[in-house]
């Protein structure tokens, strides 16, 4: 009996080794393991200083492109070639230690600065630059200083930006790879206190920006309007120029980015695209919040990773949200929570005090239908999310106690509700394309109505930019709006559609919500389809 047990254990161990080796080599080529195992961002560990940095390039066929970990090397898991070549891959590697572990007696050095370029930079403070592969130059010294380099990361694209507090992106790109840029942090991580939203002069302006479809790099324009502007059009710069112009003209108090900020197919490094959409708000100190669309996670980061990263950025009020439901797989086999991520709310408070004047709900509408046989097309708001919304709405009712006016509620989603295609319903704006709402109706619209939510606004269908009224007889229930697509990396092309954004203005004493749109081309100064959708705290329609 004992021999049989030992033999069985040996067989299990051998089989495990064989399976582990098979998975390792398959994952090396085809990434069969979950993305979270590849994107733990080891370069962000706190409490250490960088003692060396180098670049290692190798072939895909004969090397794992990993330096000796026993010598303390850690790989930044971003291939500088972005997987664009079958032949080569390359990675930045760094060494780091805790300050107290540095061997001062042996003259062990730490990195105090990094530069990128073909030519050696001028010496500083009598310290010469040391050359490393890929056009990297480093300065090292034995003396411990407060601004020693403590973290290194890689971003991509000529238009890459750095938005994290304490981080600085170095000029120039590596001599190898797809416009790979080195960014560094000196000193300890910096915390950024999340802003509190408040009414200003009893008013509050929200800009809704949807379907930016940003890439890693400048991206290519799709369906540029007018067609005469298509030649040489770079999608991301044109998109962001439009957004920054509207921000400077409208000066909103808060921005909602309602999905597909990242164009997954053209964003092999989603982090670079995320930083680009955050930069206009960070620069202007405008708080913003995001939800995910069906394309955001088609790059190298999954939905939870995207929301976690976004929630850490300055002025971001984004949240991962609670874990709703069990683990499920999408049609690509990726794991996630049944209720998704990014289900949360933010409150707009009175000018003084702690009373809530407006609650804004954000819900994940997921991606594609999990039951394509019976319900083709796109996914829907799940029962777990509906229960979360009901409980949350009930639990925060007393937040507005003592508020002198009517407390208002709004909601934002990416994929529209089935009711967005109600035949014969009145609407204001342009209904250019068939709404690609879910084939299954989970009843979330009725839940919003019962909770007293005045308006829900979506993205997803780029060329639709109407507000449709949900009503029952003479009872006006809810406005269902579209933002309209704003990004040139996504499609346009319906009836000469011009990219646009939607704005909402809350007037507290009048308990009023007004909405309008602004366009990228054409009548750029006009408030298009301006309408009052809530008056006296109630949904109204003034044709």
pLDDT in tens, 280-323: 999 999 999 999 999 999 999 999 999 999 999 999 999 999 99
* Segments in 348-422 forming alpha helices (H): 383-395
CA distance 234 to 492: 15
What is the predicted pLDDT for the residue at 71? 85
What is the predicted pLDDT for the residue at 13? 67
- Three-class SS state of 309: helix
Residue 20 has pLDDT above 80, yes or no: no
CA 118 to chain centre: 34
Beta bridge partners of 139: 113
Residue 40 has pLDDT above 50, yes or no: no
Strands 203-209 and 197-198, by their bridges, are unpaired
CA distance 49 to 30: 33
Q: Which fold has domain 48-186?
A: Vitelline Membrane Outer Layer Protein I, subunit A (2.100.10)
What is the predicted pLDDT for the residue at 406? 93
- pLDDT interval class at 29 (50, 70, 90): very low
- Point out the least confidently predicted range of 21-25, 377-381, 392-396, 471-475: 21-25
Q: Quote the mean pLDDT of the chain.
A: 91
- pLDDT interval class at 10 (50, 70, 90): confident
- Mean pLDDT (whole number) for 251-275: 97
Tell me how far CA of residue 234 lies from CA of 75, 84, 102, 223, 267, in angstroms: 32, 20, 47, 12, 15
For the CA atoms of the chain, what is the radius of gyration? 26
- Mean pLDDT (whole number) for 10-23: 65
Residue 42 has pLDDT above 60, yes or no: no
Q: Which of 505, 509, 493 is nearest to 532 (CA)?
A: 505
Report residue 69: phi and psi, to 5°. Answer: -70, -25
- pLDDT interval class at 243 (50, 70, 90): very high
What is the predicted pLDDT for the residue at 298? 93
Angle 534-391-422 (CA atoms, 0-180°, nearest 5)?
45
Higher pLDDT, 6 or 449: 449
- pLDDT interval class at 448 (50, 70, 90): very high
pTM of whole model > 0.85?
yes
- Mean pLDDT (whole number) for 139-156: 92
What is the predicted pLDDT for the residue at 32? 47
Range with top average pLDDT, 67-81, 184-198, 236-250 = 236-250
Residue 37 has pLDDT above 70, yes or no: no
CA 483 to chain centre: 18
CA 61 to chain centre: 34
Q: Which fold has domain 203-320+333-542?
A: Purple Acid Phosphatase; chain A, domain 2 (3.60.21)
Quote the percentage of the chain above a pLDDT of 90: 76
- Three-class SS state of 273: helix
pLDDT by residue (tens digit) across 487-519? 999 999 998 999 999 999 999 999 999 999 999
Residues 6+ apart with CB under 8 A from 112: 127, 139, 140, 141, 145, 147, 148, 149
Report residue 542: phi and psi, to 5°. Answer: -120, 90
What is the predicted pLDDT for the residue at 12? 67
Quote the percentage of the chain above a pLDDT of 70: 92
What is the predicted pLDDT for the residue at 45? 59
- Mean pLDDT (whole number) for 14-35: 53
pLDDT by residue (tens digit) across 314-366? 999 999 999 999 998 877 777 888 999 999 999 999 998 889 999 999 999 99
- pLDDT interval class at 6 (50, 70, 90): low
Residue 526 has pLDDT above 90, yes or no: yes
CA distance 410 to 296: 23
What is the predicted pLDDT for the residue at 323? 94
Locate 46 and state its tokens: 């706190």
Dihedral (Cα; 324, 326, 329, 334), 10-degree rounding: 70
Residue 39 has pLDDT above 90, yes or no: no
Residues 6+ apart with CB under 8 A from 383: 442
For the chain, the domains span: 48-186, 203-320+333-542
Residues 6+ apart with CB under 8 A from 157: 179, 181, 215, 216, 217, 218, 272
């Amino acid at each position: 009996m004992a021999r049989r047990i030992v033999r069985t254990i040996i067989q299990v161990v051998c089989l495990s080794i064989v399976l582990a080796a098979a998975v390792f080599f398959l994952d090396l080529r085809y990434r069969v393991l979950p993305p979270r195992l590849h994107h733990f961002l080891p370069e962000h560990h706190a409490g250490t200083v960088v003692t060396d940095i180098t670049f290692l390039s190798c072939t895909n066929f004969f090397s794992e492109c990993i330096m000796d970990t026993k010598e303390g090397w850690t790989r930044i898991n971003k291939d500088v070639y972005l997987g664009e070549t079958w032949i080569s891959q390359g990675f930045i590697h760094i060494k780091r230690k805790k300050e107290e572990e540095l061997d001062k007696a042996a003259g062990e050095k730490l990195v105090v600065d990094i530069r990128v370029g073909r030519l050696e930079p001028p010496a500083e403070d009598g310290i010469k630059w040391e050359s490393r592969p890929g056009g990297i130059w480093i300065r090292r010294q034995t003396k411990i200083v407060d601004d020693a380099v403590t973290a290194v990361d890689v971003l991509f694209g000529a238009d890459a930006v750095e938005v994290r507090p304490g981080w600085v992106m170095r000029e120039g790109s590596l001599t190898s790879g797809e416009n790979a840029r080195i960014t560094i942090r000196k000193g300890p991580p910096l915390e950024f206190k999340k802003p509190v939203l408040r009414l200003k002069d009893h008013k509050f302006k929200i800009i809704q920006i949807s379907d930016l479809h940003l890439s890693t790099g400048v991206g290519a324009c799709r369906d540029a309007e007018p067609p005469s502007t298509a030649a040489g059009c770079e999608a991301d710069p044109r998109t962001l120029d439009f957004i920054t112009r509207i921000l400077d003209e409208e000066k909103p108090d808060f921005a909602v980015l309602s999905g597909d900020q990242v164009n997954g197919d053209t964003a092999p490094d989603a982090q670079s695209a995320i930083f680009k959409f955050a930069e206009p708000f960070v620069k202007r100190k405008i708080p913003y919040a995001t939800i995910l669309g069906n394309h955001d996670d088609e790059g190298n980061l999954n939905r939870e990773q995207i929301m976690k990263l976004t929630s850490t950025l300055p002025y971001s009020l984004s949240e991962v949200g609670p874990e709703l439901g069990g683990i499920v797989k999408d049609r690509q086999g990726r794991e996630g929570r049944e209720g998704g991520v990014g289900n949360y709310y933010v409150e707009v408070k009175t000018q003084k005090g702690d009373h809530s004047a407006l609650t804004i709900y954000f819900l994940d509408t997921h991606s594609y239908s999990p039951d394509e046989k019976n319900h083709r097309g796109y996914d829907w708001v799940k029962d777990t999310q509906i229960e979360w919304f009901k409980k949350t709405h009930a639990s925060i009712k007393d937040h507005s106690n003592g508020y002198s006016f009517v407390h208002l509620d709004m909601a934002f989603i990416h994929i529209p509700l089935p009711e967005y295609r109600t035949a014969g319903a009145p609407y204001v704006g342009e209904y250019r394309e068939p709404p690609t709402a879910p084939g299954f109706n989970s009843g979330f619209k009725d839940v919003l109505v019962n909770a007293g939510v005045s308006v829900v606004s979506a993205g997803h269908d780029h060329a639709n930019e109407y507000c449709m009224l949900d009503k029952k007889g003479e009872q006006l229930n809810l406005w269902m709006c579209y933002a309209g697509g704003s990004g040139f990396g996504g499609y346009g092309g319906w009836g000469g559609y011009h990219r646009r954004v939607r704005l909402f203005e809350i007037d507290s004493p009048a308990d009023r919500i007004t909405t309008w749109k602004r366009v990228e081309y054409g009548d750029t100064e006009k408030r298009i389809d301006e309408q009052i959708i809530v008056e006296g705290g109630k949904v109204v329609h003034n044709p």
